[in-house]
Amino acid sequence: MASIKSVRIKGLEIGGGAPVRVESMLKTRLEDISGCVSECGLLLKAGCELARVALPDASLAPALAELVKSTDLPLMADIHFNHRTALAALSAGVPAIRINPGNMSGSAALAEVISAAKEKGAVIRIGANGGSLNNAQLASANGDRGAALASAVEEQLALLLKNGFENIIISAKSSSIAETLRANALLSERYPFPVHIGITEAGCGNSGIVKGAAGIALMLSQGIGDTLRVSLTGSAAEEVKTGYSILSALMLRHRGWQLVSCPGCGRRRIEVAELVDKLRGIVPPEACTGLTIAVMGCEVNGPKEAAHADFGIAGSPGGFIFFRKGSFVCRGTMDTFEETVRREILRVNHNI
């Protein structure tokens, strides 16, 4: 179940039943403004809806202000420890900040940040990370690290609520899937605020993608999470693509067409991976949202196994067959593959 409350960041609705959002975080430092602007462009192209940007200190606030003006991508400034940096970020025009209210140099400083956020209509994201749990938090949760993580978020949440601030996103992350799931399940059950989900320090390459996807999918399948980030040691655009792949696999949200392809076996009449690449060259991955296209190695099993696909191609002796919803449409040789794909898909989708 999605959160009851929603927030808006530069017009982007998060929570309250809005589609699960896909976020990332800029890898470029704010000192490199043109690099940040071009990374934002790549993220927008990949479908990113919100990006965090690290603001290590207030001296970089003018660069942040310039970035806010130079990109359409909604930004959230990521701030640690210093309330003056949080105030500088809000003055720079970011529509959201991520802070740890417990680190804001006392209650007067926090009240100042909250009052500035209220005045600007900015969202505050708060959160806890498994790596920063202290012994007292762990002891009071009897060693239940997931519960301790949830309590750490609750401590911060209490500080905002005490100041009458509810324009909040909450987040609890750990590099352990079990801990993250436990913490987020507790928080989602107890509070109406939108929840940001992800597995922190998931790693890189295939293992990072799988770890992030496993954790995020577990939470989403239990109705937990309104906005996600796949944390990868790699490009931010890759994080976004992976985020959409997770949502698409769970049938929660699609961006572009969906591929169904068989693993290929000794019966195959075509090289499945090669044909998938060729198909992607003809039908761009971000096009035809909602369509499912299958690439199957043989006509013996392919059309039946992919009968749910809107369109399908299966290898046959000397070429391929093209099918629609499991029914035969036409036969062709590889020389006519592109022409057939364009003609048959154009019949229902005129954008290609």
Q: Which residues bind ligand SF4 (CB under 6 A)?
A: 262-265, 267-268, 296-298, 300-302, 305
Residue 305 beta carbon to ligand SF4: minimum distance, rounded to whole angstroms: 6
Residue 323, token pair as written in the block = 């099918």
Nearer to ligand SF4, 7 or 295 (CB): 295
Residue 276 beta carbon to ligand SF4: minimum distance, rounded to whole angstroms: 12
Residue 264 beta carbon to ligand SF4: minimum distance, rounded to whole angstroms: 5
C-alpha–C-alpha distance, residues 310 and 288, integer Å: 11
> How would you classify the pairing of strands 227-229 and 195-197?
parallel
Nearer to ligand SF4, 267 or 343 (CB): 267
Sign of the CA dihedral with 181 first, then 186, 188, and 191 last: negative
Residue 343 beta carbon to ligand SF4: minimum distance, rounded to whole angstroms: 24
Sign of the CA dihedral with 129 first, then 132, 137, and 142 last: positive
DSSP state of 73: S
Nearer to ligand SF4, 101 or 302 (CB): 302
Residue 281 beta carbon to ligand SF4: minimum distance, rounded to whole angstroms: 21
Beta bridge partners of 15: 6
- How many C-beta atoms lie closer than 10 Å to residue 249's C-beta? 12
Residue 303 beta carbon to ligand SF4: minimum distance, rounded to whole angstroms: 9
C-alpha–C-alpha distance, residues 223 and 4, integer Å: 12
Nearer to ligand SF4, 86 or 262 (CB): 262
Residue 272 beta carbon to ligand SF4: minimum distance, rounded to whole angstroms: 7
C-alpha–C-alpha distance, residues 217 and 225, integer Å: 10
Asked whether the beta carbons of 84 and 110 are under 8 A apart, the reply is no
Cα–Cα–Cα angle for 30, 19, 130, rounded to 5 degrees: 55
Nearer to ligand SF4, 16 or 264 (CB): 264
Nearer to ligand SF4, 244 or 320 (CB): 320
Which residue's CB atom is positioned nearest to ligand SF4?
A: 297
C-alpha–C-alpha distance, residues 19 and 36, integer Å: 26
